[in-house]
Structure 1
């Protein structure tokens, strides 16, 4: 039985539980999708000289803020459209469960965007003002993911947009602000991040497939069906590892990047969890394992690149 909550009105809920509620509203398991690409792009830039710590920290904080704000826009618009209920699975639904006002969620998201813009000014002043256009496009995509008349999240293209702007583009921007250029290596190394960040969204859509279908979404998982969507997710995992092996054999990245193979238990857990799970709550650990795959894979890849730089 669904609670008696009308979208766009303040729900009758339990009082909020303090800082933990606000922290969960940022959906912290997704924040690694912003942190890891910054680290990876910075690691790749070492071949061109020393790292500018100020630019690294500004890019890191701005990326985290944009990702958190995007999650809050998601929270706000899912409530407004009636997708979130008190019984929603996962850490979304803060508005309906924990007493946070919708207006407050939106205001906090806009504050995060404002701080990110200020950091962007600092980054552009110390690198290139062309990045202002790129940054604004990335922020626009973050908002339009669930905002606007046709949210990207309701289409089959969510995985592509997420992977491109929260995976590949962050790596390339992080690399550019340190080096003033984008080279072939940075593009090639960013491909697995593109794929794995897209995989995070695909795993979310697999878990929420039935509910999303009821609300008229046309996600890739819905169009493919659960079985084929799981096959796609598994192939995305396999592609990412094979891609790195190919780059090693081609001499693009150092042998140390084989460290990424230490992360293989996580994608295995993810795929197995989705195959065995039938209810959203049963598939939640599989979705978490997908996000952890991106985190650990990217972190180990960055360590491998750092190590290769200093010991090659």
Structure 2
């Protein structure tokens, strides 16, 4: 046996199919701090801020603008800490499972080997703990102890998205849970905490926030279709294909604008939120014509910005 044959037979993992098929990842951060900031995926925090802003706006309708800013701040902390915890938990779970070995986006902390897996897990648990502590504070202040069960369910949903033996994100259920927890639960929950009751504005706003969160997730998953197939990650995008996924992305945006159109008939400032079309029209064009991963990342970024402007804009329109 020749020396070259021995080398090839001695390292079969280096020539496996998944790594050959993987696209070139984007350059990663050059510092430890930069790596952690990138791992937090700050652009996704809009998905936690938007429903809280919407819920607060809906609550102001019920309270004539008199809401507790301390409770509002705590609701915001719960949402943001939970989102960051989910991001780090996903980084850890996908990294140890090997899913990120074939990713085409920015390198992750665990999958790239930048940070030990246990450290990423520890930080994820810290942020889950901070979200839980903020939730406990809300519960003590309001006296609604059943909120603890809702918070526990939200943390569990965040962990089992990609964690555990059977993560639901690998079985095309990601959009469902994102819609429920980062849409309806976050918006309606905020309204209830601030006003002690809920209204139609909070329910409809939750539907819109959930739809936008699903659109962001869809943009991310369309980018990763080929790579997810290799690691048997069955996202909705993988199951229905690229063309249908693009249509579903547009559908989610239309749902958000349908809610906006309805409220434009009731609140005079709501039509101003339609200026977000300056963001979503380019995002839709790019989505329908995209061929490279970088284009899908642009869509994701634009959609995340749309979510923030939509949530804050509609929330303020309710309040003012």
2:234 and 2:198 mapped to 1: Cα distance? Answer: 35
TM-score (norm 2): 0.86
CA RMSD, 1 decimal: 2.1
Match of 2:124 among 109, 117, 122: 109
3-state SS of 1:84 partner: helix
Q: Which residue number corresponds to residue 8 of structure 1? A: none
Unaligned 5+ segments in structure 1 are 6-13, 308-312
Q: 1:1-312 maps to which residues of 2 (within 5 A)?
A: 17-47=31-61, 48-85=64-101, 88-97=103-112, 99-127=114-142, 128-249=144-265, 253-307=266-320
2:249 and 2:86 mapped to 1: Cα distance? Answer: 23
1:141 and 1:91 mapped to 2: Cα distance? Answer: 24
1:84 and 1:57 mapped to 2: Cα distance? Answer: 34
Summarize deviations over 1:3-40 as a string: whole Å, max 9, x none: xx9xxxxxxxx996032221111100101101111111
1:175 and 1:294 mapped to 2: Cα distance? Answer: 18
2:165 and 2:171 mapped to 1: Cα distance? Answer: 12
- Whether the 8 Å contact between 2:263 and 2:270 is mirrored in structure 1 is no
3-state SS of 2:206 partner: helix
1:103 and 1:175 mapped to 2: Cα distance? Answer: 37
1:268 and 1:283 mapped to 2: Cα distance? Answer: 14
Unaligned 5+ segments in structure 2 are 1-14, 20-27
Q: CA deviation at 1:41?
A: 0.7
- Which range moved further: 165-174 or 48-57? 48-57
TM-score (norm 1): 0.88
Summarize deviations over 1:228-259 as a string: whole Å, max 9, x none: 1101111221221122212333xxx4121112
1:138 and 1:66 mapped to 2: Cα distance? Answer: 8
- Whether the 8 Å contact between 2:93 and 2:163 is mirrored in structure 1 is yes
1:216 and 1:18 mapped to 2: Cα distance? Answer: 31
Q: CA deviation at 1:276?
A: 2.4
Q: CA deviation at 1:287?
A: 1.8
- Give the length in aligned residue pairs: 294
- Whether the 8 Å contact between 2:178 and 2:214 is mirrored in structure 1 is yes
- Whether the 8 Å contact between 1:59 and 1:174 is mirrored in structure 2 is yes
- Whether the 8 Å contact between 1:61 and 1:116 is mirrored in structure 2 is yes
